[in-house]
Structure 1
Amino acid sequence: MTLKTIYIARHGYRSNWLPPPHPKPVTGIDGDPPLAEHGLEQAQELAHYILSIQPQPSMIFSSPFYRCLQTATPIAQLLDCDIVLENGIGEWYKPDRPTIPKPADCQILSKWFPNLKDTWSPVHYPSTDGENEEQIMNRCKVFLSKFIPTFEEKYPEIETVLFVTHAATKIALGMSLLGFSNVRETIDDEDTRLRAGSCSLDEYQLDKEGKWEIVMNGNCEFLTEGEEMHWDFLNAHEAGSDADIKARDKRNSKKAEGDEEEYEDVYVTLDVPSNNFNTSTIPPTAKLQVSGLHTETPLFMVNNDVYQGDWKNLVGTEVAFTEDMEEKYKVSDRIQLHDVNPS
């Protein structure tokens, strides 16, 4: 038989998303926090929702991080199915991260998760040096190209599986299944993006032409609190990281002070074409207008000059400061500008 349905879920609400003190990682691995009590409740709600729908997954593949196994466990218990580890759907870490956590293996994790079985050998592993956006997309493409034929050969009787993973990987897996080339693209003409709230659920089905289509995007309707902690690649920080939580707290504080408009600070470097390296191309008083920043090729108008931009990954990082110079942020993206009508 052919694998026909893939569900992809993000893990539940993490304990380190709450104010300190935070519990120590059960595995003893830095960067492997357990779920908060709220996250455990979300996992139960997700499990009961999956129990109520068809088709139901016959097997669960989990990232080897503790929070994902905590999310997968109530599903496995309700469906009476096994969980296996797959490092190919593990967490995304940027290359500039000081330490890239190495997750525990099946022998260690099975002490806490009785539904975890050692019946599957991971088909792919993330880079131990971290990944940029292009690399996590490539990782997921390579993983799927290995996983699907290997799975179908080993389990020809199973048509539906569930991946329990992380926000960035959830998005990259979905974009890979849909045939897109990068993680920042929208999936339709209405600028729809893949949603990745905590314990959200996607569903992909194989159509008659052998192409994957999305029929459920970031579903959170079964969660008591609805969608929480959505993340996508327009966020300047790793999903759920301390920097991400700090930025969210800052936005929430501003909203509490009366600013109800939702926004996000994103820092990028703009490379403007110049024929003279001894003079400034853009004067400090120039007016900058931007259109389509969420697309692959945003448009920029600087005074009366129009440029088309291309997203690039920086080699290394740069630092941006807020206007008051009190905070600094790492910049890992660059937009190369090209004259639309060069003279």
Structure 2
Amino acid sequence: MLDTIYVVRHGFRSNWVVDPKSGKYTNNIRSPTGIDGDPALTSYGVEQSKQLAQRLTKMDDPIETIYSSPFYRCVQTLKPFIQGLYEEGSPPGSSTVKYEHGLGEWFGIADFEHPQPVQYEVLQAEHFPFLAQGTLFGVIPNPKGESIAGLHDRVARILNAIIQFEDRRPEQPRALLICTHAAVMIAIGRVLTGHMPADPNEEDFRCGTCSLSEYKRKSPLRAREEWQDWENGIGIAGGWDVALNGDCSYLSNGEERTW
């Protein structure tokens, strides 16, 4: 069964601006996908991703399966690590990335539709050939945004689905890597551990750019279809302990852009 989950946030990205009345997103640097609100990493973010890649190759539990948000900056953050795996002759499956909408960016509730990621087929064919497959689980964020409660529900659903899937695979992977965004990274920590603060703005799980968190499974309980009951210290699929909380010690400039 899966017993280790690593979570990383994407590297330093270029910024966007959104007009709250019209819902129009603009970006000074054109996105490789042509979608405003789907920016690439800055050159600094690329350097961060290379430092992260070096750290990921040294984890105590080798990474056997990888999931990513479908936004460009997350898959781009994984690229140096994937390239390193190819060069070293990685085990089957570990050098491919699964594209999953349920790990995508969190946008607040609005009257307009927020930017949506490019389709898997385009991202795989035109940018990242190491993408293994499109979304499996049908967990799609509301295009008009989510409340904070809605974000945590979405994260609980997608994590439960991923853990169920990985637990049932005949390969029996032990360690999983997820690349996502700041708000989702925080929600992942809360859902895995079952610790939801009374004030959702409390600083509990760290999420600097290219930071790394690690969670260890507490119980051999398998994930169930019922994903809602995770609060009060229960956690998804038997609960998880924090081994690393937004570690940035391997980055040359340490923690940056945390919430």
Normalised-by-shorter TM-score class: 0.7 to 0.9
Which gives a bigger RCO, structure 1 or 2 (Cα 8 Å, sep 6+)?
A: 2
Distance 1:183 1:70 in 2: 35
Q: Which residue of 2 aligns with 1:15?
A: 14
For residues 257-278 of structure 1, the C-alpha deviation after alignment (integer angstroms, 9 at most, x for no partner) is: xxxxxxxxxxxxxxxxxxxxxx
* TM alignment of 1:1-343, pairs within 5 A: 2-16=1-15, 22-80=28-86, 81-96=95-110, 98-110=112-124, 111-118=126-133, 121-154=136-169, 156-181=171-196, 184=199, 193-208=204-219, 210-231=238-259
Kindly provide the amino acid, as one letter, of the partner of residue 33 in structure 2.
T
Give me the TM-score of the superposition, normalised by structure 2.
0.80
Kindly provide the amino acid, as one letter, of the partner of residue 62 in structure 1.
S
Residue aligned with 2:15, SS: helix
Q: 1:97 to 1:216 in 2, by over 3 A?
A: farther
Q: 1:96 to 1:183 in 2, by over 3 A?
A: farther
Give me the TM-score of the superposition, normalised by structure 1.
0.61
Kindly provide the amino acid, as one letter, of the partner of residue 27 in structure 1.
T
Flag the structure with higher helix content. Answer: 2
Where does the alignment leave 5 or more consecutive residues of structure 2 unmatched?
A: 17-25, 87-94, 221-237
Distance 2:68 2:170 in 1: 17
- The answer to whether the Cα contact below 8 Å between 1:83 and 1:116 also exists between their aligned partners in 2 is yes
Distance 2:116 2:214 in 1: 29
Q: Which moved more, 1:49-58 or 1:75-84?
A: 75-84
Instruction: Return the offset for 1:179.
Output: 0.8
Aligned residues: 224
- The answer to whether the Cα contact below 8 Å between 2:166 and 2:172 also exists between their aligned partners in 1 is no
Flag the structure with higher strand content. Answer: 1
For residues 87-123 of structure 1, the C-alpha deviation after alignment (integer angstroms, 9 at most, x for no partner) is: 1110000012743111112210012112111276244
Distance 1:15 1:218 in 2: 21
Distance 1:41 1:97 in 2: 37
Kindly provide the amino acid, as one letter, of the partner of residue 79 in structure 1.
L
Where does the alignment leave 5 or more consecutive residues of structure 1 unmatched?
A: 232-343
Q: 1:183 to 1:201 in 2, by over 3 A?
A: farther
% identical equivalent positions: 36
Q: 1:182 to 1:136 in 2, by over 3 A?
A: farther
